[in-house]
Structure 1
C-alpha cells in the first residue's frame, strides 16, 4: 500500500510539472511539440507494423484493402518457421546459432580494431597520417557489391570458406567506426596524456584506462552499428558458404521467398523470421540509447 501511495504521489507530481511546463510554453513551442509528437508517432508506425505482421494469419496478409493491425493474432507463423527446414535436416535454430556466433565475434572485432586504428590516427602524428585517414574515408563511398569478387578471392586463398572466419573477416573493417572514434579521441587533451606518460603510463594503459573510458558514448554507438552490420549480413553466406550448416538467419529468411513457388505460401514464415531478426537490433538500441544520445549531443569531453 505504501508503495502504491508513493507511485500515485510521484505520478501526481509529474503531471503537475508537465501541466505547468505546458502552460508556460508560447505558441511556437506548442506547435513544435505537436509537430515532434506527430513525427514520433509516424516513425513508430513501421515498428508497430512489423509486430502486427508477424502475428497475422495467412489470409490477413493478403487482404485488400490491407489491414494495419492484426485482427486474429496467431503464433502459427512461428510454428511454421520452426518446421520450414525439415526437408533440409537443418533446424532453424542452427541458422540462429550461426548468426549469434558470427555477430558476437564480428562486433567485438570491429570495436577493438576500430579503437586500435583510431588511436594512432588521433594521437600519433606519423608521416602520411592524413593520407591514411583519407583512404579510410574514401572506402565509405565504395559499394560493398563491387568488392564481391576481390573478397571471394581473398577468402578462398586464406582457406576459410565454410568457416566462421569466412563470415567474420570480410566485415571486420568499419570505416564509420574509425572516423567516429577518431573525432572523439581528437578532443582528448594531449596534455592529459603527456602527464600520464610522465607518471610511467604505457601506450596501452593510455588507451585502455584513459581514452576509452572518455569515448564510451562513441564506443556504444559503434557497438550498435557493428551489431546491426553483422546481424543483418547475408552476403557472406551467399558468397563464401557452400555448406548450408554454416549459413546465417538473414540468408535463410531471404531464401524463404526467393522463388515463385514460395512467394505466397511463405509470407507468414518470412514475417515471423523478420521479427526475430529485428528484435535484437531494437533491444541493443534501447539498452544503449543513453550513450547514443550522448554521442550525438557531444563532440568530445567537457
Structure 2
C-alpha cells in the first residue's frame, strides 16, 4: 500500500515530466536535510588522520599497517604508482625530504627509496569505535548527560504547566486588560535574549542559583511562544463544553486538568518538542551560569574538546552524534502531533 502510494504517477502507467520534477525535488530535499547529518555520523567513526585527508571521503577509511620483522611498531603500507617498483605494496620506514625509505614486508632486509609522489597510501574500510569509548575515559560523560537530561525534562515540565495555565486564562476567561496582557507577552518576542542576560544573571546570583541546574531552568520557564501557541489552540475548544463541566460542579482546576489539557494535547506535544530542543541545545546561558565542570551540560562539555592549540575532531564528532540522539528520538515520537498542533493553533 505504501509503495503503491509512492510509485503512483500522473501519466498513464509511466512517468510524466511533473513526476520527474517531483522526485528530483524530493531527492534534493532529502540530500540537503539528511546529507550533513549522515556525513557527521560517518565522520564520527574516522580517525584524526582520516579526518585530515584531502579530498575527504564519505566512508571511514584508515591507512593499512603491517608488522614487519625487526620493527616494534606497525608500519604504514603504500601502493607504488610509478617507477621501478610500480604495482608493489611496500611499508614505509621513514620519510626523508621528498623521498621515503620503504621496505618489502616479505623481504625486510632490503631498503628501498621511493619518491613521495610515486606512492599512494593503502587504505581499508575501518570504523574507529574507540572514538566513542574514549569519551567515557576522558570525560565523565554520564554526568554531563544526566545534567542535560535533568535540566531538559524538569524545564519542559515546568514550561508546559506555566504556559498552559497562562494560555487557559487568556483564552477562556473574560477580564479587563486581557488583550493588553496578551500583547505585552507577544511583544517580548521582539526583545533580543542577549539584552536580558545581565539583569537575569544578577537576579539568579542574588537567589544563590549560580552553579546549580535551577539557575538554568527557572529564567525561561515561561515563554511567549508557548503561551501564544497554546492560547490559539485553546480558543478552538468550545466554551459550552467548559460551562457544562462547571454546571456539574467541576472546579476550575478540574476543568483545566481533566478537560482543557487532554484536548490541547497536540499543541502541548508541539510545545514539548520546542522546549526540549531549546533546553537541550542551549549553550550561552549555561555557559554564563555554570562554571564548575561537574555541573556542565553536554553542550558545554562539547566546548571542552576545542583547545587553544589542538582540537580533538574525532571525539568532538562522536560526542556530537551522541548529543543528537535524544533530541532525534523525542522528535520521532512526537512528530505526528506537530502538523495538527501547529495547523490548529493559528501559526502560519
Report the TM-score, using the length of structure 2 for normalisation. Answer: 0.74
Shift of 1:16: 5.0
Which of 243, 267, 270 lines up with 2:316 in the alignment?
270
Correspondence for 1:9: none
Residue pairs, 1:80-229, within 5 angstroms: 80-85=134-139, 91-229=140-278
Aligned partners of 1:270, 1:123: CA distance in 2, in Å?
49
Alpha carbons 1:177, 1:222 under 8 Å: kept: yes
Structure 1 or 2: more helix by fraction: 1
Q: What runs of 5+ residues in structure 1 fail to find an aligned partner?
A: 1-12, 86-90
The aligned residue for residue 88 of structure 1 is none
Q: Is the 8 A contact 2:10 2:19 kept in 1?
A: no
**Structure 2 counterpart of 1:39, from 23, 29, 33:** 29
Which one scores higher on RCO, CA 8 angstroms, separation ≥ 6?
A: 1
Q: CA deviation at 1:143?
A: 2.1
Equivalents in 2 of 1:140, 1:53: separation in Å? Answer: 38
Shift in Å, 1:17: 5.8
How far apart, in 2, do the equivalents of 1:19 and 1:54 lie?
35
State the distance in 1 between where 2:342 and 2:215 align.
34
8 A contact 1:171–1:230 mirrored in 2: no
- Matched residue of 2:58: which SS? coil
- How many angstroms apart in 2 are the aligned matches of 1:151 and 1:115? 23
- Judged with a 3 Å threshold, the aligned counterparts in structure 2 of structure 1 residues 223 and 75 are, in CA distance, closer, same or farther, namely same
Selected match of 1:289 from 335, 340, 346: 335
Equivalence map 1:47-86=2 (5 Å): 47-71=37-61, 72-85=126-139
User: Contact between 1:111 and 1:219, CA under 8 Å: does it hold in 2?
Assistant: yes
Greater strand content: 2
- Determine the structure 2 residue equivalent to 1:10: none
Residues 57 and 76 in structure 1, CA contact (< 8 A), matched pair in contact too: no
**Given the two structures, how large is their TM-score scaled by the length of structure 1?**
0.85
Q: Tell me the distance in 2 between the aligned counterparts of 1:30 and 1:299.
A: 35
Q: Quick one: distance in 2 between partners of 1:278 and 1:286?
A: 12
How far apart in 1 are the matches of 2:143 and 2:6? 50
- Are 2:325 and 1:279 aligned? yes
Task: Name the stretch that deviates more: 45-54 or 273-282.
Answer: 45-54
Instruction: Give the number of aligned pairs.
Output: 280
- CA distance, structure 1, for counterparts of residue 222 and residue 231 of structure 2: 15
Aligned counterparts of 1:31 and 1:280: Cα–Cα separation in 2: 35
2-structure distance, mates of 1:124, 1:26: 55
Alpha-carbon shift at residue 289 of structure 1 (Å): 1.3
Q: CA deviation at 1:270?
A: 1.0
